[in-house]
């Protein structure tokens, strides 16, 4: 049985990449490490991950296009013998998809909590009037129409 696309409305054109991104994020929805996302001020966001036992050298934060990736891997402690190990020390990878324009302004590790600050700049609305060309073109006149067939993916 084939799955029905989420964005199958004829009014939602070009959202197939967004649907693939949502599918990929749903597959990576592991619960470790736990995190919070909070609004900070008018245009700010903060992602806070609980990374007890990790140092800043054990953590990597990367932004690739619109995907914020947080990875953690602790160094192997071969000299320690645990009778009980309840604090998770496994490696992890947590991904967050950011909307266009969101910028990472900083990150800090404090008391086992990794906080990543983001800002969403205020965008001015873009209004553009599209010129409508008449059906009869003059011979020798420049063609100002857009060829949409050249933009179709093949």
* CATH number of the domain where residue 118 is located: 2.60.40.790
Residue 14, in any domain of the structure: no
Residue 112 maps to a domain: yes
Q: State how far the Cα of 66 lies from the Cα of 38, in Å rounded to an integer.
A: 19
Structure tokens at 131: 């010129």
* pTM across the whole model: 0.65
- Assigned domain for 99 exists: yes
Q: Which two tokens stand for residue 147?
A: 């060829």
Domain around 84: 33-122
Element (H, E) at 48: strand 44-50
* pLDDT at residue 75, rounded to an integer: 79
How many distinct structural domains can be found in the chain? Answer: 1
Residue at 16 is within a domain = no
In tens, the pLDDT along 37-75 reads: 999 999 999 999 999 889 999 999 999 988 999 999 987
How much is the mean pLDDT over the chain?
80
**Residues 29-64: b if buried by 16+ CB within 10 A, e if exposed:** eeeebebeeeeeeeeebbbbbebeebeeebbeeeee
Report the C-alpha gap between 49 and 33 in whole angstroms.
6
pLDDT at 126 over 50: yes
């Amino acid at each position: 049985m084939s799955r029905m696309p989420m964005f199958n409305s004829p009014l939602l054109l070009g959202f197939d990449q967004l649907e693939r991104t949502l599918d990929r994020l749903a597959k990576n929805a592991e619960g470790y490490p736990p995190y919070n996302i909070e609004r900070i001020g008018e245009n700010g966001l903060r992602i806070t991950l609980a990374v007890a036992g990790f140092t800043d050298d054990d953590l990597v934060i990367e932004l690739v296009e619109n995907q914020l990736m947080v990875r953690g891997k602790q160094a192997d402690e071969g000299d320690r013998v645990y009778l009980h190990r309840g604090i998770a020390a496994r490696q992890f990878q947590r991904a967050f998809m950011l909307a266009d324009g969101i910028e990472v302004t900083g990150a800090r590790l404090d008391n086992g909590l990794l906080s990543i600050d983001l800002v969403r700049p205020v965008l001015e609305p873009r209004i553009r009037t599209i010129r409508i060309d008449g059906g009869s073109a003059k011979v020798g006149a420049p063609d100002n129409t857009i060829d949409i067939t050249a933009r179709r993916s093949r």
